[in-house]
A and B are shown apart, each in its own frame.
Chain A
Amino acid sequence: METRATRLSLRIWTILVIAFLWIPLVLIAIYAFNKSVVQSWPIPGWTVHWFSIAWHDPDVRAALWLSVKVGLVATGAALGLGSMAAFAIHRFRFFGRESISFLLLLPIALPGIVTGMALNSFYVFAGIGLSIWTIVIGHATFCVVVVYNNILARLRRTSPSLIEASMDLGADGWQTFRFVVWPVLSTALVAGGLLAFALSFDEVVVTLFTAGNQATLPIFIWNNLREGQQFPIVNVVAFAVILLTIVPVTVSQRLTRDTGVVRRGAALTAAAEATEITTV
């Protein structure tokens, strides 16, 4: 339908936009090997020196370790809460069902700064000192929805007759779970968990409000950028963060394929579903 010229210009446009999306990431990768401490372009020479400096830097190590701990705990909490909520929403019809879906989506639907300061004023109000746990709670509130969406999507695509068949064939509740439900859900759980971890690992907007004096890896970058310090180390850390978030996401994409999980995209899909239900 489209003329040859239209097709060609669309193709060129696509290539240009993708270049626009990737050039900054490639540049960060190159800057990580920058020989000079001055961040100008082109870089004067190559070195892997900063990798070892960054690796042995106690602040970087502390930040990395904190990020990993927070990510793991928040992901664990999100897996528990998110899958329970998904099961309940899928299995039962009850009063306030739609509002619960909506409630779970709020932390991602509202601007991060609102979530951040809401939690911050809650902690101040309740007299809770900022610690690793306040960071974890903050991260868990928006990680739950990722797990919840993944599990719910998988449950909706799974035919209930599978479970009925298993029961008819004489399996008890545990056997049905072990041999029917679990194989169906496990990849969704892993995918949801990986996404939640990636989300937590890279979060900065909410974390700045809930972290107090401790620095997660993104906060380490943020602090150094604001104070204009240690750019070579920041480059290496930035490069590492890109690699560390891209890997889990790629794995999780492969595991889910058709669920099309996108951070806020998934949230809005579910929000749309929630509003559809309420309007009908």
Chain B
Amino acid sequence: MLVPPVAVFLVVYVGSLSVLFVSSFWTVDSFSGKLEHIWNVGNFRTIFSTADPTYLRIAGRTVGIAAAVTVTDAILAFPLAYFMARIARPRTRTLVFVLVLLPLWSSYLVRVYAWRLILSNDGALNWALGGIGLHLNIAYTNWAMWIVFSYVWLPFMVLPVYSALERIPDNFLEASADLGARGWRTFSSVVLPLVLPGLIAGSIFSFSLTLGDYITPSLVGGAGSNFIGNVVYENVGVNANVPFAAAFATVPVLIMAVYLSVARRLGAFEAF
């Protein structure tokens, strides 16, 4: 019974991944545009070249914004998750849960588009800021990408943090209070260590999803806001240099492999 699904999967998916990986060691002839099956590491040399740091800079921007987004989401999500897990009554909790989950499921592209409308020069943000005499020109900048990414991945952070908080037994907190710890001490020595796996689990989503994205940079990023994903997308399409795209695409995959193995050490996978 397992034969059909696995066969389909093996052929299509693993086949494609291997073709992809192998092709990253090939080159495209710059004159004829033809694929040359000669083994070399030229693509990787271009990416990691310090003489022409274009691609290193793009990789740096991608990782930097992914990290900023992850931190932002953790800060936004933690108090909300805490409220859901430990303060809200069951009815309120369900309501908050649904209100957090539904935006996650509504179209990603549409949510990015909504922010394009909001951040534009005569959009809702500047209308609201105009009330207090301010004007922000952040459309098509790295700031815009930071806001939009933080927005679209926020629910992914809330859920694991919530489930980690929910699992802390009340008597841990009581014990801490009995032993004389004040609110802050209890928070930093009891709550935070127990929630850490949840935070890391959430960070896997916000970090990895930002790392592989190219939609948001093209829609709300500016001229100099390319992500790894944009370079990959252009090289598959317009530039027709699949080997180079494949080589660059291995960068986020490797980063995630390292990230996941560290996260597993820290117990993030038990947080779900």
List chain A positions with a Cβ less than 8 A from chain B: 1-3, 6-7, 9-11, 13-14, 17-18, 20-25, 27-28, 31, 39-42, 80-82, 84-85, 87-89, 92, 100, 103-104, 106-107, 110-115, 117-122, 124-125, 137, 141, 144, 198, 202, 204-205, 208-209, 218, 221-222, 225-226, 234, 238, 241-242, 245-246, 249-250, 253, 260, 262-265, 268-269, 271-272, 275-276
**In the docked arrangement, what's the CA distance between A117 and B154, Å?**
26
Q: Is the CB of A121 within 8 A of B249?
A: no
B102-125 CB contacts (< 8 Å) to partner A: 102-111, 113-118, 120, 122-124
9 A–B contacts from the bound complex (CB under 8 Å): A14-B79, A22-B103, A82-B5, A84-B5, A87-B1, A114-B17, A204-B215, A238-B113, A262-B104
With a CB–CB cut-off of 8 A, which chain A residues contact B4? 80-81, 84
Closest CB in chain B relative to A186 CB, distance in Å:
19
Closest CB in chain A relative to B85 CB, distance in Å:
11
> Is B67 interfacial (CB 8 A cutoff)?
no
Query: Shortest 10 CB-CB distances between A and B: which pairs?
Result: A111-B212, A122-B16, A272-B269, A24-B114, A118-B16, A88-B2, A40-B122, A81-B5, A41-B124, A249-B105
**In the docked arrangement, what's the CA distance between A88 and B4, Å?**
11
- Known A27-B124, A84-B5, A85-B5; judge A118-B107 contact (CB<8 A): no
Q: Is the CB of A245 within 8 A of B105?
A: yes
Q: Is the CB of A111 within 8 A of B256?
A: yes
Q: Whose C-beta in chain B lies nearest to the C-beta of A224? A: B113
> Is B221 interfacial (CB 8 A cutoff)?
no
- Known A21-B103, A103-B13, A202-B107; judge A144-B5 contact (CB<8 A): yes
On chain B, the number of residues with a Cβ less than 8 Å from chain A's Cβ atoms is 91
**In the docked arrangement, what's the CA distance between A163 and B209, Å?**
41
Q: Whose C-beta in chain B lies nearest to the C-beta of A34? A: B117
Interface of B is mostly: helix
- Known A121-B242, A249-B105; judge A25-B111 contact (CB<8 A): yes
With a CB–CB cut-off of 8 A, which chain B residues contact A85? 2, 5-6
Q: Whose C-beta in chain B lies nearest to the C-beta of A78? A: B5
**In the docked arrangement, what's the CA distance between A261 and B19, Å?**
32
**In the docked arrangement, what's the CA distance between A58 and B4, Å?**
38
Q: Is the CB of A208 within 8 A of B233?
A: yes
Closest CB in chain B relative to A229 CB, distance in Å:
13
Q: Is the CB of A225 within 8 A of B116?
A: yes
With a CB–CB cut-off of 8 A, which chain B residues contact A226? 218-219
- Known A111-B252, A144-B5; judge A17-B80 contact (CB<8 A): yes
**In the docked arrangement, what's the CA distance between A28 and B103, Å?**
12
Closest CB in chain A relative to B61 CB, distance in Å:
16
Pick from B39-47, B52-60, B93-101 the stretch touching chain A.
B93-101
With a CB–CB cut-off of 8 A, which chain B residues contact A263? 104-105
Closest CB in chain A relative to B187 CB, distance in Å:
10
Q: Is the CB of B83 within 8 A of A6?
A: no
With a CB–CB cut-off of 8 A, which chain B residues contact A209? 236
Q: Is the CB of A14 within 8 A of B106?
A: no
With a CB–CB cut-off of 8 A, which chain B residues contact A125? 19
With a CB–CB cut-off of 8 A, which chain B residues contact A222? 109, 215
Q: Is the CB of A24 within 8 A of B212?
A: no
With a CB–CB cut-off of 8 A, which chain A residues contact B101? 249, 253, 262
Q: Is the CB of B108 within 8 A of A1?
A: no
With a CB–CB cut-off of 8 A, which chain B residues contact A242? 106-107, 110
With a CB–CB cut-off of 8 A, which chain A residues contact B107? 202, 218, 238, 241-242, 245
Q: Is the CB of B151 within 8 A of A21?
A: yes
Q: Is the CB of A111 within 8 A of B123?
A: no
Interface 1/0 per residue, B15-35 and A, CB below 8 Å: 111011001000000000000
